[in-house]
């Protein structure tokens, strides 16, 4: 099992889908996932790459969020993190809840409406693989209230903040020491008003263009890209149920590294 992640580090991702079997077919074919037995109640089904847990899919429950991905940030004490979320102006959607022996979860929203999870591990430590094809790679807070996000997440999780100096892009990095753990992007007018703020989860692929072609052939919609940046070639899509996600190939890079300015 993996070691417990540092507080504030992305440690797990799951998604809610009305058509669970359709979602399993889509992501299974696109990312090479296999699926194990359900965990706990409600058909919570883990996805694996080479036998290592990388995500989970589940059907919606009463009052749950619409189809989409939820990113969980690690915490050694979910109750304490929930208290900090309240104190920083966030909203608790699900109070700290013990999930059997697996751990304790919280669902919350930042002051700008970005939903995310908190995970205090028990026997379930989180991602067993990262950055390999089919596994989690990176995530960004997509928000229409960037100033509120840049105050909220560092207050709750102790992040440092670096801002990109490009006037044309409002982007910041949240880090823990020297390690960037999360990005934050302002949602511009290019995003239709009906698209809510969200956590954009990136999955690793060998070939971004080929993966985009496969995804769109199975009913996904390409929203942006593919585009090559210093960190890789990526594309943003929505899956057949309308859930946003991104793909990135870290082996294809280009362009100059962005200049970042330390803010806090």
pLDDT at 259: 80
- Name the average pLDDT for the chain: 92
Give the C-alpha separation, 66 to 153, whole Å: 23
Residue 230 makes CB contacts below 8 A (sequence gap 6+) with 253, 254, 255, 256, 257, 258
**Domains of the chain, residue spans:** 10-121
What pTM was computed for the model?
0.94
pLDDT tens-digit map of 206-256: 999 999 999 999 999 999 989 998 889 999 999 999 999 999 999 887 777
pLDDT at residue 23 above 50? yes
Which three-class secondary structure state does DSSP give residue 231? coil
Q: Is the pLDDT of residue 107 over 70?
A: yes
Return the CATH fold of 10-121: 2,3-Dihydroxybiphenyl 1,2-Dioxygenase; domain 1 (3.10.180)
> What's residue 1's pLDDT?
45
For 52-83, write each residue's pLDDT tens digit: 999 999 998 755 666 799 999 999 999 999 99
Token pair 């899919």 in the structure block, residue: 57
């Amino acid at each position: 099992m993996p070691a417990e992640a540092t507080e504030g580090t992305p440690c797990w991702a799951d998604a809610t889908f009305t058509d669970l079997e359709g979602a399993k077919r889509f992501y299974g074919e696109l990312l090479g996932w296999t699926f194990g037995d359900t965990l706990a109640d409600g058909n919570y089904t883990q996805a694996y790459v080479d036998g290592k847990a990388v995500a989970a899919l589940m059907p919606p429950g009463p009052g749950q969020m619409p189809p989409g991905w939820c990113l969980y940030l690690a915490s050694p004490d979910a109750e304490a993190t929930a208290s900090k979320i309240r104190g920083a102006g966030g909203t608790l959607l699900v109070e700290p809840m013990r999930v059997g022996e697996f751990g304790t979860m919280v669902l919350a929203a930042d002051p700008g409406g970005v939903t995310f999870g908190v995970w205090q591990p028990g026997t379930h430590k989180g991602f067993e693989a990262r950055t390999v094809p089919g596994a989690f790679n990176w995530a960004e807070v997509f928000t229409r209230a960037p100033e509120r996000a840049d105050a909220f997440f560092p207050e709750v999780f102790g992040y440092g903040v670096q801002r990109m100096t490009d006037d044309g892009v409002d982007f910041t990095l949240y880090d823990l020491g020297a390690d960037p753990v999360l990005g934050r992007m302002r949602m511009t007018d290019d995003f239709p008003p009906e698209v809510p703020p969200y956590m954009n989860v990136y999955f690793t692929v060998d070939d971004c263009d080929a993966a985009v072609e496969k995804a769109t052939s199975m009913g996904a919609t390409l929203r942006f890209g593919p585009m090559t940046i210093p960190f890789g070639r990526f594309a943003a899509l929505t899956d057949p149920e309308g859930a946003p996600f991104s793909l990135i190939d870290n082996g294809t890079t280009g362009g100059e590294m962005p200049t970042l300015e330390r803010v806090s």
